[in-house]
Amino acid sequence: MTLPLPIYLDNAATTPVDPRVVDAMVPWLGEHFGNPASRSHAWGWEAEKAVESARRQVAALIGADAREIVWTSGATESDNLAITGAALCHQDKGRHLVTVRTEHKAVLDTMAALQAQGFDVTLLDVQPDGLLDPGALAAALRPDTVLASVMAVNNEIGVIQDLATLGAICRERGVLFHVDAAQATGKLPIDVRTLPVDLMSLTAHKTHGPKGIGALYVRRQPRVRLQALIHGGGHEQGLRSGTLATHQIVGMGEAFGIAAAEMARDTAHAQALHQRLLAGLQGLGDVRLNGHATRRVPHNLNLAFGGVSGEDLMLAAPGLAVSSGSACSSGSQQPSHVLRALGLSDECAHASLRISLGRFSTEADIDRAIGALRDGVTRLRASPPVFSAK
């Protein structure tokens, strides 16, 4: 007998594809199969037209020029292209890079790989609320600093960094500023016309689009230059060669177009569910919200339940699809590097669960989650607690 699927509250790992996005993609998997690089016939022309339309949709969500959007396979590739591409292209200026301890592994591991090649990497600490002190960034920049990378919205705790202030510091010092915005699109208004951001990593599947497609914003004024990492054909202005996946690109464009139109409604919906969940868990006691209480997206709640292991709680509430950290690190038995960077003990980090909301989360989902979590925590606390979440 097949067990029913659990309630999905792991949207920070991936979001369900909006049915409107699926409908937009399907024709490009069937009758419209042309290669957008085929310039000699109508099959290629129509595919190229669809790709460029999607490019404009993605650009519009962040206030960019369509010519500043480079297609990639997702935010991980975009992070790699932005950081490594900038480091290699500008190493005549210097070989120093700056990032934050709470970054996604796609940034941290890229930095580590460059460090192994002789680059100098500074990892900045965050404050206990997960936010980076702009003064710490300013103090870390040196004459040989090439690039600083700070994510817009943290994937584990949902806090929002002050991109305007951080970017202004970098701009004043002549340092390229890269932002991983995978968790921000559709949740925060972004306008690169006013934000001093030089490079921005984007992905579709965190914004109700398909997996396997993303983009990198590369500023044209002032011009940002990168060294390509993938060669063979000179696609995407020579920055990312390879046949474009038209159906996925169309899907990302449609997803970002919907996000632009419905962001206010989606955010209000997430805020209401966020408050409903916290209110329903109030009576449990010894529950901690990790990360800044208000400078965060409402879609993400990282909660520590005193006296309870997050892994045990997931087992005690099998009807919920949640996580104990980043999906990219979910196989690790080590406590979250993000929560440790906030100063939490190993025990408290292990006690934490990430509950993340999306467009299709409902009040009924939240009410069932409250019941399952209350029941699970109560049963697990029946034994004497060995630590506190406070």
Active site residues: 328
- Residue 226's SS3 state is coil
In the numeric block, the tokens 């398909």 are attached to 210
Tell me the three-class secondary structure of 259-291, residue by residue.
HHHHHHHHHHHHHHHHHHHHHHHHHHCCEEECC
In the numeric block, the tokens 């900038």 are attached to 86
> At a CB cut-off of 8 Å and minimum separation 6, what does 192 contact?
62, 63, 64, 68, 200, 217, 219
* Residue 308 structure tokens: 């309870």
Point out which residues pair with 211 in neighbouring strands: none
Strands (E), 80-135: 96-100, 120-124
State how far the Cα of 18 lies from the Cα of 21, in Å rounded to an integer. Answer: 5
